[in-house]
Structure 1
């Protein structure tokens, strides 16, 4: 056991989950015990970490924080419907290839067609996309954001890449990561991701933080905001999450709200000012209409 565990711990630079949690806290990201353990295991076991949860609970921010504490470059692949492999892997710079072709033809009266064609597929003409960048710039952090928005076909392709962290480029050969990137996949659960991809990953569900942790997050990320305002914003945000809204506010929206209130000079949560700044915390008209129809004092009466 000692022969395998010690080198793995040494390779990630953290003695255990608590040491990683302390490093993350120093960046302003406050993980709970379960999330810190999941992130540590992803590092040690070199397994992708699949994070699900409501939008705004800190999934994407974790990848940024992990890149900072590990000193690795971060590459982000934003998923969307219709995303194709070439947009995630690599593409050829056709404009530069064409300029190279014209320059070669102008410089030589007799052109060696075969050599010229071969030179068009040199590495300098390759445009690396996030997946290839993450494998070449090893070790790295690869964030595959909102994978639930991609199509089934892309999900299957992604599974193949994550199985051995190898990419084959027909014109140049095979690219293999010396050290597998730390892969963070996120999902807002707009659809179910296939079991095959989940089985390849460690899994963690992110909840909205409890009151004390949300206050701590606000105070850590927004030190200029008063303690009272942070507590009252956290309490009001929690009450908004209980209203069965179209889009319940996450931590990101709570921070935006606190920043907006602070920018207007607020040191505590005034119901009228809170109602006027709902655009910082709610993003759907139906939600703002619902909140405006309720008693302001009950929602924004402070913590």
Structure 2
């Protein structure tokens, strides 16, 4: 049975990793991918370099062993030839010494030839490994170039996405300023407040213009103007000596003015004559 604490810890870590991936900056992740691709290519190149280095080292050892083999062969031949000359000259002791020397050279030659055989096999293996390493290094280089091209495209897309998000946020702020800040009113709220105040002002103005007292004052002013006109005509008639004829007209005008005032509605909606 799995340990609950271990299982919970793994779940929390996986959730934490998901949160990091969701909130991570794409540019930072692109940079991480770039560094990882370059590091992987560098490791492949370093490994290939080591393999090629081993092949070169075995090649140098192989050349040295070949030189030692040729040298020992020449020395062994010379010793045999000298031994033969000494034997032909009747010097058996010296002939034996040269034969012993030839045997030493022969023993050394056998050892060198064994090393040469082993080194040749290792060199062949190293040469094949070096060719494979070179091929893989070239493949890694091509893959890195392709990855870098993709990374450049992703970086350009990330820049475009970031600019698009900036433009979108700017447009949202124009259409609805203050939407992201609770301390700043929204455009709709400001518009509603202005329209409400304007409507209240229009209502108050309409009430002021249509009050009964204003209407009564207007009518009374009209009656006063009529009476003033009648009085003016009366004075003009007296001054011109035509008072009798004008008197009837003036009385008629006064009567009309009174009737106008009597017909004016009061606050209850009835006229003056009805109230009498």
Q: Sort the TM-score into its range (normalised by shorter chain).
A: under 0.3
Instruction: Specify which structure has the higher proportion of helix.
Output: 2
TM-score normalised according to structure 2 size? 0.20
TM-score of the superposed pair, with normalisation by structure 1: 0.18
Larger RCO (alpha carbons 8 Å, 6+ apart): 1
Give the structure with the larger strand fraction. Answer: 1
Structure 1 or 2, whichever has the larger Rg, is 2
